[in-house]
């Protein structure tokens, strides 16, 4: 079905579905086969093999992902980190340099500070909201700029329009991790980014039951990443493809509901006297609220906040809540709560973490699909206890 003229929520359901439906199956069947009978000819690209990411489950997902974000092509991977590391390795070789935002997911930060230098690739960190400083850091061997739509866990939004303009002017690729926004709230390729990356473990799948990743972009760029992935081997297995495919069909309703609930929770926390600070782009006090209002279709389901007091106070609050599950990860149907300094960013040395603004009493919340009033009542009791 041609879905270009349709809204993202319709594309999520109909794009990439097999035509005709396989034996009439309305849900995409799982092709649990690692290899496929040769069709003749000696072209390597005609071979179908699960690690080569070209089974019917991969093909359907690639088309759906590309259509949803308005890209020509997409590739799914074994995890979000497989998507990030493979995409970076596809475009960076020994002697190259790249720019990366200074507040990124901990795993990405680790890849940039540990693995990239081991491969002879150098990076400089940049403040996503200080375009003048980017000019000072660019070098003749700079190949790309890497940012996140909404940073983890401080929920900041870099100057997305200036990043696209900067990358084009300097002839470097622009890569963005769009995990926190999801394609429902922001579609980077439509705004000029070259590659959009997702940890599909989060919103795209939405049920906290698989680990997966994806990169979306134009045909040539995705082909380069696919060749790299085929050699590195970070393929997504057919059953996980099936679950991701199923999860994506409900992304629209999930994210719209999570946008609403997160806004209500953020407003409640902002008013509460024991809360020091709330980071949520839907609040007018957020430093990039105007940018979010202009560029996003929703403010997302992620927020973070600091309770007045020390780390013990933050821990006590988490323990007193009944609805959220204290667990890392995000984007699922259940509300998850964590202290980033003890989970996602525990690998970043404390001094660096504090410099990034991640204090030990910072709490991160991934709002799920529970009733907003129930979450607020639960938080109110835990804060007033």
| 162 assigned to active site | no
Q: Name the catalytic one among 36, 49, 51, 377.
A: 51
C-alpha span between 158 and 270 (Å, rounded): 22
CB-nearest residue to ligand PLP: 80
Q: Name the catalytic one among 11, 48, 143, 202.
A: 202
Nearer to ligand PLP, 149 or 226 (CB): 149
Nearer to ligand PLP, 109 or 143 (CB): 109
Backbone torsions φ then ψ of 44, nearest 5 degrees: -55, -35
| 105 assigned to active site | yes
Nearer to ligand PLP, 29 or 107 (CB): 107
Please, which residues have CB within 8 angstroms of residue 256's CB and are 6 or more apart in sequence? 184, 298
Both tokens assigned to 64: 């759906």
Tell me how far, at minimum, the Cβ of 21 lies from ligand PLP, in Å.
30
3-state class (DSSP) for residue 302: strand
- Write the DSSP string, 201-219: TTTTT-SSS---EEEEE-H
Q: Name the catalytic one among 11, 96, 159, 177.
A: 177
Tell me how far, at minimum, the Cβ of 5 lies from ligand PLP, in Å.
31
Tell me how far, at minimum, the Cβ of 99 lies from ligand PLP, in Å.
18
Q: Compute how many other C-beta atoms are within 10 angstroms of the C-beta atom of residue 376.
A: 18
Backbone torsions φ then ψ of 100, nearest 5 degrees: -135, 145
| 51 assigned to active site | yes
Which parts of this chain interact with ligand PLP (CB under 6 A)? 79-81, 105, 107, 148, 152, 177, 179-180, 199, 201, 211, 213, 329, 344
Dihedral (CA of 61, 63, 67, 69) sign? positive
Tell me how far, at minimum, the Cβ of 79 lies from ligand PLP, in Å.
3
Tell me how far, at minimum, the Cβ of 146 lies from ligand PLP, in Å.
11
Both tokens assigned to 91: 């475009």
* In the chain, beta strands by DSSP E: 73-77, 97-101, 122-126, 142-148, 173-177, 195-199, 213-217, 275-279, 302-307, 325-326, 336-338, 362-366
| DSSP code of residue 114 | I
Tell me how far, at minimum, the Cβ of 80 lies from ligand PLP, in Å.
2
Nearer to ligand PLP, 56 or 368 (CB): 368
Nearer to ligand PLP, 107 or 192 (CB): 107
Instruction: Return the half-sphere exposure (C-beta side, CA atoms, 13 A cut-off) of residue 23.
Output: 3
Nearer to ligand PLP, 104 or 266 (CB): 104
Nearer to ligand PLP, 18 or 110 (CB): 110
Tell me how far, at minimum, the Cβ of 63 lies from ligand PLP, in Å.
21
Query: CB burial class (10 A; 0-12, 13-18, 19+) of residue 174?
Result: buried
Whether the Cβ atoms of residue 189 and residue 158 lie closer than 8 Å to each other: no
Q: Name the catalytic one among 64, 105, 186, 364.
A: 105
Kindly state the helix (H) or strand (E) to which residue 375 belongs, with its residue range.
helix 372-384
Tokens 């024991």: give the residue. Answer: 274
| 231 assigned to active site | no
C-alpha span between 104 and 148 (Å, rounded): 7
Please, which residues have CB within 8 angstroms of residue 266's CB and are 6 or more apart in sequence? 278, 280, 282, 283, 303
Nearer to ligand PLP, 176 or 275 (CB): 176
Both tokens assigned to 198: 């997702």
Both tokens assigned to 112: 């940039």
Q: What residues are labeled active site?
A: 51, 105, 177, 202
């Amino acid at each position: 079905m041609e879905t270009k003229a349709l809204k993202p929520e319709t594309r999520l359901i109909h794009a990439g579905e097999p035509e005709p439906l396989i034996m009439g199956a309305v849900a995409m069947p799982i092709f649990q086969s690692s290899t496929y009978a040769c069709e003749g000819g000696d072209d390597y690209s005609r071979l179908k093999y699960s690690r080569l990411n070209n089974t019917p489950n991969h093909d359907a997902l690639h088309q759906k992902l590309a259509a949803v974000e308005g890209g020509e092509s997409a590739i799914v991977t074994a995890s979000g980190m497989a998507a990030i590391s493979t995409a970076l390795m596809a475009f960076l070789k020994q002697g190259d340099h790249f720019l990366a935002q200074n507040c990124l997911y901990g795993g990405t930060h680790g890849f940039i500070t540990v693995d990239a230098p081991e491969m002879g690739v150098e990076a400089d960190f940049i403040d996503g909201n200080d375009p003048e400083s980017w000019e000072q850091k660019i070098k003749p061997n700079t190949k790309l700029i890497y940012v996140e739509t909404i940073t983890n866990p401080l929920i900041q939004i870099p100057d997305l329009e200036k990043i696209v303009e900067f990358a084009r002017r300097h002839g470097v690729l622009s890569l963005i991790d769009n995990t926190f926004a999801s394609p429902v709230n922001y579609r980077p390729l439509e705004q000029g980014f070259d590659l959009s990356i997702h940890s599909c473990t989060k919103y795209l799948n939405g049920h906290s039951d698989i680990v997966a990743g994806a990169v979306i972009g134009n045909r040539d760029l995705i082909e380069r990443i696919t060749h790299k992935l085929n050699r590195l081997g970070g393929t997504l297995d057919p059953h996980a493809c099936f679950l991701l495919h199923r999860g994506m069909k409900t992304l629209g309703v999930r994210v719209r509901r999570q946008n609403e609930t997160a806004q209500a929770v953020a407003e409640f926390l902002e008013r509460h006297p024991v809360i020091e600070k709330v980071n949520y782009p839907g609040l007018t006090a957020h430093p990039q609220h105007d940018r979010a209002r202009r560029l996003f279709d929703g403010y997302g389901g992620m927020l973070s906040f600091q309770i007045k007091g020390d780390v013990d106070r933050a821990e006590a609050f988490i323990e007193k809540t009944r609805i959220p599950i204290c667990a890392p990860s995000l984007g699922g149907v259940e509300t998850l709560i964590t202290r980033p300094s003890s989970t996602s960013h525990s690998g970043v040395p404390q001094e660096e973490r504090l410099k990034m603004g991640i204090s030990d009493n910072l709490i991160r919340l991934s709002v799920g699909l529970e009733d907003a009033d129930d979450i607020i009542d639960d938080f109110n009791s835990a804060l007033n206890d």
